[in-house]
Amino acid sequence: MTTVFKRPAVVPITELEQSAFCTTETLRTKTLEEEFRAGVRWQKVPIRYLKLSPEEIDEGIAAAREALQKQVVVLGHHYQRPDVIKYADFRGDSYKLSQMAARERDSKFIVFCGVHFMAETADILTAPDQVVILPNLAAGCSMADMAQTEDVEESWNELSSVLGGPEEVLPVTYMNSTAAIKALCGRNGGIVCTSSNATKLMDWAFERSQRILFIPDQHLGRNTGLKLGIPLEDMVVWSPFEPLGGHTPDRLRRARIILWEGHCSVHTRFSVKQIEEARTRYPDVSILVHPECTMDVVQQADHVGSTEYIAKMVREAPAGSKWAIGTEINLVNRLAEENPDKTVFCLDPIVCPCATMYRVHPAYLLWVLEGLMAGLVINRIKIEDDVAGEARIALNRMLEIAG
Ligand code: 13P
Ligand code: SF4
């Protein structure tokens, strides 16, 4: 009997939500109650927080920070909305924030304004007596959701039974993945990478193995492979919905990189047409994109790098320079605001925030901070010890090698 594997036909809820907030105007924080009207499925909060105006939330957060002092440190990813990032003690890309979590020992509570996998990583890297809090538990990552732990474990078993041990294939996971996938990498000689160190770490993996299974972003994996000189015909896309990822054993043996079939719905919106339009508008514009963009966009861009790289590049650019940026809109808008002497704009004229990063509305931040004031820990992210132990091996390899 032949087994038929069916692809799920549903549009992920995060992608529906993303279009709910797409606009050609400036994004402005409203009360949580008003934002809920877009039909989103965010974590429920006590009713009081639904009605608070942005000004009332501001006052509440300022009072809570004053009362809690150094007991709390707030970390913020670059994609957080302005009404949240302004409270971050430290901002950064996934790599910088993971380094901070590994070094920060002064505060008992780490409130992570970012998404779930980032808070998980912070929990794994902080001391056992530190507590990591994610203000809205629904703040996941649609790309990370494309690699379900069980699917990755099954695929890994299938793949290694065809290819063999660590000299034949190593797992490399992007930070945007579950703690359990990081643990799989830890126990199989693999590593975690971020967009700021993927080239160095893929190189590290190739010094140890013939092939890499790269999870979950096919675009980052492909762009990085090309940068290392690996031709496209030596890469295959692994579909978790088909036996052996949709390939014959022979095709897999001929591959150097096996790319998990995942993508970021924010970064795959950017196109070569948008780059051409930006260049027509401003012939001297520099195109700066994130490596989660598709290969054709990355190849047409002038500069490619992580969110921290993008921010640094614009900050250090000469006055009068022009930048068309292919990354999440909250970061692009902030860079435009903080660099009034430069022209900074988003490649995509229709503004779509990352739907999951956007779920951290400031009312959630106030809720968890007021909880701490009342001696209550709300939304703790805690990874079980055995998973955390193995995931830490893969994360520490990254921190040691990437420096
Ligand atoms: P950075 O590590 O560049 O911040 O990227 C994280 C991310 O999720 C980009 O979509
Ligand atoms: Fe995930 Fe894309 Fe949002 Fe980054 S921008 S957190 S990869 S959905």
Instruction: Express each pLDDT in 332-354 by its tens digit.
Output: 999 999 999 999 999 998 878 99
Q: Name the stretches of the chain with pLDDT < 70.
A: 1-21, 23-26
- Which pLDDT score, from 0 to 100, does residue 332 have? 96
- Which pLDDT score, from 0 to 100, does residue 291 have? 98
- Which pLDDT score, from 0 to 100, does residue 346 have? 96
Q: What are the angstrom distances between the C-alpha of 325 and each of 196, 197, 235, 293, 301?
A: 17, 20, 28, 11, 9
| Ligand at shortest distance from the CA of 263 | 2
d(CA 282, CA 286): 9
Q: Residue 216: is the preceding peptide bond cis (ω within 30°)?
A: yes
Given the CA of residue 141, which atom of ligand 2 is nearest to it? 1
| Ligand at shortest distance from the CA of 115 | 2
- Atom 2 of ligand 1: nearest residue by CA position: 94
- Which pLDDT score, from 0 to 100, does residue 5 have? 41
Ligand 2 center from residue 356 Cα (angstroms): 7
Report the pocket of ligand 1 as residue ranges, CB < 6 Å: 78, 93-95, 176, 194-195, 264, 292, 306-307
CB of 328 shorter than 6 A to ligand 2: yes
d(CA 136, CA 356): 10
Q: Domain 144-265 belongs to what architecture?
A: 3-Layer(aba) Sandwich (3.40)
Ligand 1 center from residue 5 Cα (angstroms): 32
Query: What 8-state DSSP symbol labels residue 10?
Result: S
Paired residues of 214 in beta bridges: 172, 259
d(CA 332, CA 313): 12
- Atom 6 of ligand 2: nearest residue by CA position: 141
- Atom 3 of ligand 2: nearest residue by CA position: 354
Candidate from 176, 192, 220 with most ligand 1 atoms within 8 A of CB, to mutate: 176
Contact in structure between 352 and 19 (CB atoms under 8 Å): yes
The values of phi and psi at residue 92, to 5°, are 175, 180
Contact in structure between 181 and 143 (CB atoms under 8 Å): no
The full set of domain ranges for the chain reads 30-140+356-383, 144-265, 267-346
Ligand 2 center from residue 26 Cα (angstroms): 20
Given the CA of residue 77, which atom of ligand 2 is nearest to it? 6
What is the topology classification, in CATH, of domain 30-140+356-383? Rossmann fold (3.40.50)
- Which pLDDT score, from 0 to 100, does residue 27 have? 74
- Amino acid 209 reads S
CB of 266 shorter than 6 A to ligand 2: yes
Give the burial string for 362-376 (b: 16+ CB within 10 Å, else e): bbbbbbbbbebeeee
CB of 354 shorter than 6 A to ligand 2: yes
Given the CA of residue 307, which atom of ligand 1 is nearest to it? 3
- Which pLDDT score, from 0 to 100, does residue 12 have? 45
The values of phi and psi at residue 292, to 5°, are -80, -5
CB of 360 shorter than 6 A to ligand 2: no
- Which pLDDT score, from 0 to 100, does residue 29 have? 87
Matching CATH topology for 30-140+356-383 and 144-265?
yes
What's this model's pTM, rounded to 2 decimal places?
Answer: 0.94
What is the topology classification, in CATH, of domain 267-346? Rossmann fold (3.40.50)
- Which pLDDT score, from 0 to 100, does residue 158 have? 97
Given the CA of residue 141, which atom of ligand 1 is nearest to it? 8
